[in-house]
Structure 1
Amino acid sequence: MWVGSFSWANSNLKAKVYLINAIEENGSEKWAAYAYSHLLKRSQDKSIVQFWENKPLDKVPQGNRIIQFHLATDLDHDYCIEDFPNRTIIRFQSEKIAVWIIYQLIDVIAQEDNRFSVSDLPPSIIKFNTECRNFDFSYREPHFLPNLERDYGSIIGTNNVDTDWGLWGHNLGNVVTHGANKDIYARVEGGRISTEQFCFSSTTLKNSTYEYIIDQFGDGTSFSYRFMIMPQDNDLVCTCDNCVTIGNTTNNATPAVTRFIDKLAQRFPQHYFYTSAYRTTIEPPKHKLPRNTGVFISTVELPRGISLNEEQPATKKFISQLRLWEEKSPAIYLWDYAANFDDYLTPVPVLLGLQNQLRFFKKHNVKGIFLNASGYDYSSFDDLKTFISAALMMDVEIDVARLSRRFLQRNYPRNHQLLTKYYLEIEENFQTSSKAYPMYGGMRDNLNTHFDSDHFVDFYNNLKVAIPKTYGIEKDKLNKLYTALSFTRLQIAYARQNSELGFHLNNRKTTTRQELEEWILILKNHEKYTDLNNYREVDGSLKTYYDTWQNLLFGKGYKNLLKGTAIELVSKSERDYDETYLLNDGLPGFTTDYQQGWYISSTDSTHFSFRTQEVQKAKTIKLRFLVLKKHRFYPPEKIELYSDGKLIKTYTERHFTIHKGIAECEMDIDLLETEKLTLRIKKSIGRNTIALDEIEIN
């Protein structure tokens, strides 16, 4: 039997009547009945689908086709298909695969037989010729919103954190009852008990976990769940006598954590248990882990969206980590990424880059992919990205462009050409660049890596024209997309204020384009959608974003005599492109978003200078810094002003007024005898960052 790769050319399945049959009474009859039921409800002519039971297989009427289903848990492949002139046999290894392959069958039949309706289904990606096949990855999760919708993951053959996992992430604390015995907690720093970390040699913790699994998920006989066993998200390690005996050190918790996993795996052989190569468990264990265990390794250090090669320093380090864990773990899963987590709504071309990287991961024996993306929040083109990334995890060699066209034509029959042209062009254009897209970046980062604002604005304007000519579900989906993309349109206006796409700045005062009000009103429509509330992973409320724009447009106005004067960065730049224009562009930074309008510096001392010819009569200088502690943004420790190289003012933290996340410092100045003013801003000690948005002189 030939073992081949996926394709989607039409198969020769068309028949007058489809006769459904089960092979053996081992659960196969359930899936034959499932296929019969779902084929039947997709045709108005109920006579064309029949259940062929207790009838001879060699007496099939001319022009009919018998389709047999066989649940074969001992199958060496995920599925096998045998195709004969009037008979098709479909074997599958699990019930999960059964659902997926039945929907594949329904779509393939409907492509040839218009008596069936499949407009609500995604396109099939296989043909039903004779072949056996294993999926390229056994665990496949594109963590986009559509994959979390009820039943959709079953149709496209994906996994889901909400249904496949008993424990996910750093949630081992869920198994612990309130007021639990203190021996479940770590002993750190000479014996001090810390409730911020667990003791993984604790008998109480082990027994509590046993009870939790049994009570909530059973022993795995009926359904196998996966469980993530990770320390809490910090660098604390238990160094009690038992943990030290097992092998723990002050910075390595792997010995006790993996011993804990060994016991769980032995107690529940039908469930699966995973840890992660992260922080205190980054080192692999010294022993081989049991067959029903595995490890998650993050790809966070790898460049996003571009091909990987073994000469890249980050990739070389990643491969080394894979090899170390491969010696000890029976399964390696990756925690991968497919989004800009600071901007879910601006289109990011992820698919062709994902394909290249999945090929690389397959080559290095990775077994599963958790593709972290916008999760429970809507993101632009997330329906397409969910479907294509799911297909890629089954077969890394699918034709992304062709399958994208089929998906968009199925889901947007009136406007598929508009959507296909734009999305495939941004994918193809990005592949000609050697720059990775930002995993955390604002519009300025987008513009300097992958994003063509002129191209986008053309698409945005064409979408506006197309929507009134569209009807039904397609119109609803386009309206939602247009609402989301209005965020991007506003971001362009903010970032490209001096171009035709942005603001108009006149007479050192901020004025605005008339269209801004229109874009803001369109964005307000996000309130109509329950899943269009955020534009980023953290602190990304669209309501707050909308309110900030309202204040910017209809507030009291803003004046800065320094506007139009070139500001020079004297100290070393941390970026490949100049951002000093942010310091006097007349646009206040958004207090909830450090990517929006702030000049960011993590160097110990940042120096700016500018000529003072245009501000000789100024009386004050005001500086405005972001205070956002969870992202390590703090006011500077000290600010020094130099007039032509001579120190004239020094201000420290005590001179700042802090209110609602903004630290302001206002100083009296006399610039009549000054040609060049220099500011030296010293940040506070530690891994802190400063964010300054305006040097305001009046």
Structure 2
Amino acid sequence: MCRIMNSLLLMITTLLYSACQPSAEEITLVRQGRSEYVIVLPEQATKAESKAAGIFRDYIQRISGAALPVITELQYKDQPAVFIGNTSHSAGPAEIHGEGYFAGSKNKQLFIRGGSGQGVVYGVYYTLQTYMGCRKDAAGPAVIPTVKDIRLNGAISDLREPAFLYRESYYPPSMDAEYLAWHGLHRFEDLWGIWGHSFFKILPPDTYFKEHPEYYSMVNGKRQPLQLCLSNENVYTLTVEWFKKAIADNPDAMYWSIAPQDGGGGCTCDLCRKADAEEGGPQGSLIRFVNRVAKQFPDQHFTTLAYGYTAKAPLKTKPGANVFIMLSTIDAFRQEPLAQASSAAGFRKNLEGWEATTGNLFIWDYTTQFTNYLNPFPDYGNLQSNLQYFATHHVKGVFSQGSGETYGDMAEYNSYVQAALLWQPDADIKKITSDFLKGYYGPAAPAMGQYLDALTNAVKSTRAVLDIYGNPIYSSHDYLSPVQTDLYSGFLDKAEAAAGNNPLYLRRVYNTRLFLEYAVLQQSRFYGTDKYGYLQPDGTVNPRWPQRVQKFVAQCKTAGVQELAEGGLSPDAYAQEWQELFSRKWVKSLALGAAVTLVNPYTPEYTPKKERTLTDGLTGGNDFSYNWLFTYGKDMIATIDMGSSKTIRQIQMNFLQDARHYIFNPTQVLVETSVDGTHFNSAGVKDIPVPEEDYAVRINPYTFPVSGTAARYIRITARCPVTLPDWRLVEGKKAALCCDEVMVE
């Protein structure tokens, strides 16, 4: 209700100012490359006002060739003028809230004023785009029309005030400082003295753990460098000392983060446990600690994360007046708005809990697939509803995490739309989308609109799940099925044709095609020798595939792809991975296509080929999402039926080790053979030691010679670790096994 009232008041205010303005005649700012206008600044102009005047002057000259003098108000002699900043010559409202701005005209004069921060700069860029045809839809040079006359028709009275205090859309365009200012966005690097998961930036374990393990969390009765012990007095003292120095070194920073590391491992020592019990969870000791530190710096703003084990609001303690809570939406799927998705029920409850305890609430949201940045991720239709929902719950700021510095699915579109909605969540989304498509794709805009609509509609019609940790393989039966992919490709074909010979628009369409091509390439690993696979039925590589991969990698580099997943492969490393697949010898196992029976179930979301994974002829790679039989927390006991008795000499299988995702080697592998499926004989057993700390991803092969044994059935028992190793011990997590491929020779 408050959001609706605020929007209504803003609309009424804007209309009132518009109604109060006399009908202005046309402002001819430049005629035939010459101008009578001057740019007038306040006598004591701020840095932002001086910057805004410079930007306005520069763009007018680049558009028309006219160079407008910049003077102070004391030098002003009643000539035609553009007043920039809070001069005594004024128009518009008496007060502009936040980083808002006003652009208006009166008596053939133009006025651009701003609120706090960079508001006046935002106002200049708004005027350039809205009234002079300049555009900046992505990183790189702005689009600037070249004309000799600049005319502003009719009365102008535009007041814009942002709905959110902090606004960040984390995509490659935001690495361009002018793009940020043009669209009124922020970067955390510019606002935070220390950002995000910060415990170990303040007290790094490499510095302190050996001598002072008591500074770190106690987990399962043992001190471990997983998080900080927030009840330790020395941790508090060192943290305060750290911030004293950091604030002195960076006095312009607006926010300082005190937040847990990414992952679990909250401290369970007696004092921390007591605080947590009183507050309803580990968020208790966190908020008490952050409040205590923040109290020492009343003029600073501190942030902490409501994320993972600290997501819930505390029962008793409220965040301090200078403490901001950044609540994460990480557990929700993205095919539905957060306000109604069943997977977001926990988030909604947490949001309401924090809203009741503080007026300083930020949201850390996610609009990309971190495991596959290039995979089509059509949550586009929910961008507006989610931001409206945040505004309804009095959220003050949003960090919308996309693909970051690397190119990802619809990066420019997402950034542009999010920027507009972070200012005005109730804006006309169709108009925003149309405006972007026309500006960015030119004549290809209609086909690109069809492409976006088709993706969005397919997610709904196929009841697909959009998981930020998903995979194109998981979606191969719904919105990324081959039939749907062909449909999308058809729209991109139309877009290419419409772009004609324009190299800029063609390159942008080509870059957009990367997303579909990536999905096809990744799915081809899943299909293997089947239709749509990269292999021919005889197991040899499809001769078109090496060139297809080469072309894809080259386009990735053109588009600015740095990594294909969060912490993932570079384009060159991706090409190398494909070369290894192309050079891999096809082993026609005696168990190829054999039926598999499991005692314990696989994890379906990570095993799309089900039991067939072990005998499909394809071996898994470093990504557990591809061709691995994933078993969580239980032994993998698989019986393979080769259909008839065969003489075998060797059995081999691989297990994946990926500690980051809690995937470990089995503690023991037992291989047995049988003629009748009832009586089994041991063919070998291997005991595997508990690994030392090692986060590298490895594929570990295990081979069992069987010396010409006759058998129809092979049973493999892989013992799952009962507990996680101490160095990866996290409450609530179990070890997983990933096995593939069982090759019988």
So what's the TM-score if we normalise by structure 2?
0.77
> Which residue of the other structure, out of 125, 134, 149, is the alignment partner of 1:103?
125
Deviation at 1:665, TM superposition (A): 3.4
* 1:623/1:694 contact within 8 Å kept: yes
Alignment of 1:434-513 (within 5 A): 434-457=463-486, 470=501, 472-474=503-505, 477=508, 486-497=517-528, 500-506=531-537, 509-513=538-542
Identify the range of structure 1 (618-627 vs 75-84) with the bigger mean alpha-carbon deviation. 75-84
Check if 1:208 corresponds to 2:235: no
Equivalence for 2:743 = 696
Contact 2:134 2:142 in 1 (8 A): no
The one-letter code sitting in structure 2 at the alignment partner of 1:295 is I
Query: 5 Å matches for 1:197-236?
Result: 197-198=227-228, 200=230, 201-202=233-234, 204-218=237-251, 223-233=252-262, 234-236=264-266
> What is the aligned counterpart of 1:139 among 166, 171, 192?
166
Work out whether 1:37 is the aligned partner of 2:57.
Answer: yes
The superposition leaves residues 481-527 of structure 1 with CA deviations (integer Å, 9 ceiling, x where unpaired) of: 55675443321322234554323543xx4122221011122234268
Q: Which residue of 2 aligns with 1:366?
A: 395
1:302 aligns to 2:314 (yes or no): no
1:625 to 655, 669, 677: 655
Q: Map Cα deviations across residues 109-142 of structure 1 (whole Å, 9 max, x no partner).
A: 12399xxxx982599xxx9964644423222212
Q: Aligned AA for 2:115?
A: Q
2:323 to 266, 279, 293: 293
AA of the residue aligned to 1:664: Y
Amino acid at match of 2:583: F
Q: Which residue of 2 aligns with 1:339?
A: 368
Tell me, what secondary structure is at the counterpart of 1:546? helix
Offset at residue 533 of structure 1 (A):
3.5
Matched, 1:330 2:359: yes
1:15 corresponds to 2:22: no
Tell me the residue number matched to 2:680.
Answer: 648
Deviation by residue 1:349-386 (Cα, 9 ceiling, x = unmatched)? 12212323222222222222222222232213212222
Corresponding residue for 2:96? 75
Provide the rounded CA distance (Å) in 2 between the counterparts of 1:486 and 1:597: 20
Aligned residue runs from structure 1 range 38-437, under 5 A? 38-46=58-66, 53=73, 66=82, 69-70=85-86, 75-76=96-97, 78-79=99-100, 81=102, 83=104, 86-87=108-109, 89-111=111-133, 120=142, 130=157, 132-175=159-202, 185-186=215-216, 188=218, 197-198=227-228, 200=230, 201-202=233-234, 204-218=237-251, 223-233=252-262, 234-237=264-267, 239=269, 254=283, 257-278=286-307, 281-285=310-314, 286-309=316-339, 314-413=343-442, 415-437=444-466
Q: Work out the CA distance in 2 between the residues paired with 1:568 and 1:191.
A: 40
- Give the alignment of 1:658-677 within 5 angstroms: 661-666=699-704, 668=706, 674=712
Partners of 2:260 and 2:305 within 8 A in 1:
no
Distance 2:409 2:13 in 1: 27
C-alpha separation in 2, matches of 1:635 and 1:186? 28
In the alignment, the residues of structure 2 paired with residue 409 and residue 468 of structure 1 have an alpha-carbon distance, to the nearest angstrom, of 12
Q: C-alpha separation between the residues in 1 aligned to 2:13 and 2:688?
A: 63
Deviation at 1:210, TM superposition (A): 3.3
Give the whole-Å Cα distance in 2 for the aligned partners of 1:281 and 1:326. 15
3-state secondary structure, aligned to 2:64: coil
Q: 1:408 to 1:362 in 2, by over 3 A?
A: same
% identical equivalent positions: 19
Partner of 2:10: 3
Structure-2 residue corresponding to 1:598:
628
Letter in 1 for 2:96: L
Q: Please give the alpha-carbon distance, in whole angstroms, between the structure 1 residues aligned to 2:60 and 2:188.
A: 32
Corresponding letter in the other structure for 2:657: V
Deviates more, 1:552-561 or 1:526-535: 526-535
CA distance, structure 2, for counterparts of residue 641 and residue 89 of structure 1: 86
- Please say if residues 45 and 85 of structure 2, whose CA atoms lie closer than 8 Å, have aligned partners that are also in contact: no
Tell me if structure 1 keeps the 8 A contact 2:651–2:704: yes
- What secondary structure sits across from 1:3 in the alignment? helix
Query: What amino acid is aligned across from residue 488 of structure 1 in structure 2?
Result: A
Change (3 A) 1:407 1:645: same
TM-score normalized by structure 1? 0.82
- Closer/same/farther in 2, CA of residues 128 and 510 from structure 1, 3 Å limit: farther
Q: Assess, with a 3 A threshold, how the Cα gap between structure 1 residues 88 and 602 changes in structure 2: closer, same or farther.
A: same
Q: Structure 1 CA distance, aligned partners of 2:134 and 2:27?
A: 9
Q: Which moved more, 1:540-549 or 1:457-466?
A: 457-466
8 Å CA contact retained: 1:14, 1:109: no
Residues 338 and 344, structure 2, Cα contact 8 Å, conserved in 1 = yes
CA contact (8 A) 1:224 1:272 kept: no
- 189 and 662 in structure 1: CA distance in 2 versus 1, 3 angstrom threshold: closer
Is this contact kept in 1: 2:591–2:640, CA < 8 A? no
Counterpart selection for 2:614 from 583, 606, 623:
583
C-alpha separation in 2, matches of 1:572 and 1:128 = 70
Amino acid at match of 2:662: R
Q: Deviations over 1:66-116 (max 9, x none)?
A: 555439996346535474564554443223232222211101112399xxx
